[in-house]
Amino acid sequence: MAEHEPNTDLSKLESILGAEFADKTILKSAITHRSYLNEHREATWDHNERLEFLGDAVLELVATDFLFRKYPEKPEGELTAVRAALVNTVSLSATSEKMGVNEFLLMSKGEAKDEGRARQYILANTFEACVGALYMDQGYDTAAEFIARNLFPKTDEIVDKRLWQDPKSRFQELAQDFTNVTPTYKTVDQEGPDHDRVFTVGVFLKSEKIAEGKGRSKQEAEQEAAEHAITAKGWVA
């Protein structure tokens, strides 16, 4: 894998974020992972964890206000679930990647090699840090406009496809709607020692196995199996 060489053109990043920063140091902090400072003691700016903390709160308020106004008929519990789906790690990391934030990340060489789940977390956290930086440097309205532009278009799909539900709940509803059958789950394999076990679970409609999923717990494997089953069936609510 080629070594990650970050793009240092902050004006390009400002263009992506839609704001020219008065304080470039805040912007630089937003894209700096803690690990980078361990390898670059000469850096005079902070990592992004404090901005992430701030951005998380701003993001929650902006998303809550938007959903509250958009869906006046939805109860609190459903709004909470929709908000969680809109601002979870998968959603935020995918948005960061689509925006091209990945190329600006300042990380240690070790972190830069990881393209899996760890990178997802870094990208999601960086999105929140960018929100925090926009709020600090430009104010609430600019931060809210950035969130609306990049996240809110996902809302209709989340609601229409009921993506706010966990996969097991969603597959059970769909299975009952389409077949009037309640899915059942069965562990079909487990491997590894007790402290590092991986379970494979099958999801069935009556005796027909629809899909399988793997996980470090049976619950995790069941959720993955349900997700695969929805895809396999091609069901849409």
Active-site option among 128, 222, 224, 227: 128
What is the distance between the alpha carbons of residues 56 and 51, in angstroms, rounded to a whole number?
8
Q: Look at strands 198-205 and 184-191 and give their pairing.
A: antiparallel
- Buried b / exposed e over 69-82, threshold 16 CB at 10 Å, is eeeeeeeeebbebb
Cβ atoms of 199 and 218 closer than 8 Å: yes
Residue 105 has phi, psi (to 5 degrees) of -60, 135
Judged by phi (left if over 0) then psi (alpha if -120 to 50, else beta), residue 43 lies in: beta
Cβ atoms of 29 and 47 closer than 8 Å: yes
Cβ atoms of 10 and 4 closer than 8 Å: no
128 noted as active-site residue: yes
Q: How many CB atoms lie within 10 A of CB 38?
A: 13
Active-site option among 56, 111, 222, 227: 56
Q: Which residues are catalytic?
A: 56, 128
